[in-house]
């Protein structure tokens, strides 16, 4: 029912039509005139007509208020649901960041340990990753040939694992984040890496690509 249904049982929307585009003031005046004519025809006392009009006015106000509350609640609920969806989408979008790590491998030291540095062009999201940072590799774990690498960066450190291929096989591997400290705390994710040795085996270059989450 629309608000006009409280004023007259002949409202078009009762028959499936649209509510009349009539200001409520005009509608009330029209109904009042009908009530007055009705009183004159049946000989009803003026007080009866006034009472009927008062009841009609009260019903119309209640109906309009109810419609307003329903619309307000519906709008508020819809706005809240929309805001929740947008917040969730925004959070998901903001939590995923592309990462690109470029490294320079140094020649192994006397103990056979591998280390190196992060080179220019490394990024995490829209920012530089570990500018001027260094890294150290742990020993190759047999039989998986997994390696734990620790990046030591300004403001924190990041540990990852990847697989070291045999010397006669091109270096290709998945990698993943193990732990983050400082600015990298709570970081997770991984991707793919590849490496190329310099001629003579004295160092090399690596590239790590992937996506991390916070």
**CA atoms of 35 and 48, how far apart (whole Å):** 10
Rounded CA-CA distance 76/83 in Å is 10
Sign for the pseudo-dihedral over CA of 48, 53, 58, 63 = positive
Angle at 121 between CA 117 and CA 123, to 5 degrees: 95
Is there a contact between 126 and 106 (Cβ–Cβ < 8 Å)?
A: no
pLDDT tens digits for range 94-150: 589 999 999 999 998 888 899 999 999 999 999 999 999 999 999 999 999 999 999
Provide the whole-model pTM: 0.58
Query: At 134, is the secondary structure helix, strand, or coil?
Result: strand
Structure tokens that stand for 116 in this block: 């190196």
The answer, yes or no, to whether residue 42 has pLDDT greater than 60, is no
The DSSP secondary structure of 136-180, one letter per residue, reads EE-PPBTTTTEEEEEEEETTEEEEEEEEPPPTTS-EEEEEEEEEE
């Amino acid at each position: 029912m629309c608000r006009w249904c409280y004023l007259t049982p002949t409202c078009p929307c009762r028959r499936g039509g649209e509510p009349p585009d009539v200001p409520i003031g005009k509608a009330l005046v029209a109904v009042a005139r009908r009530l007055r004519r009705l009183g004159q025809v049946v000989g009803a006392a003026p007080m009866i007509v006034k009472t009927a009009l008062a009841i009609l006015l009260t019903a119309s106000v209640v109906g309009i208020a109810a419609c307003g509350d329903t619309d307000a609640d519906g709008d508020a609920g819809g706005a809240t649901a929309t805001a929740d969806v947008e917040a969730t989408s925004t959070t998901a979008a903001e939590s995923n960041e592309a990462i690109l790590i470029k490294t320079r491998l140094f020649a192994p030291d006397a103990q056979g340990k591998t280390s190196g540095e992060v080179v220019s062009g490394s990024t995490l999201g829209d920012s530089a990753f570990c500018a001027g940072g260094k890294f150290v590799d742990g020993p190759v774990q047999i039989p998986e040939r997994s390696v734990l690498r620790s990046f030591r960066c300004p403001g924190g450190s990041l540990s990852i694992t990847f697989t070291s291929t045999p010397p006669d096989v091109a270096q290709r591997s998945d990698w993943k984040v193990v732990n983050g400290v400082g600015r990298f705390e709570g970081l997770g994710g991984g991707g793919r890496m590849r490496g190329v040795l310099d001629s003579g085996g004295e160092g090399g270059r690596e590239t790590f690509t992937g996506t991390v989450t916070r």
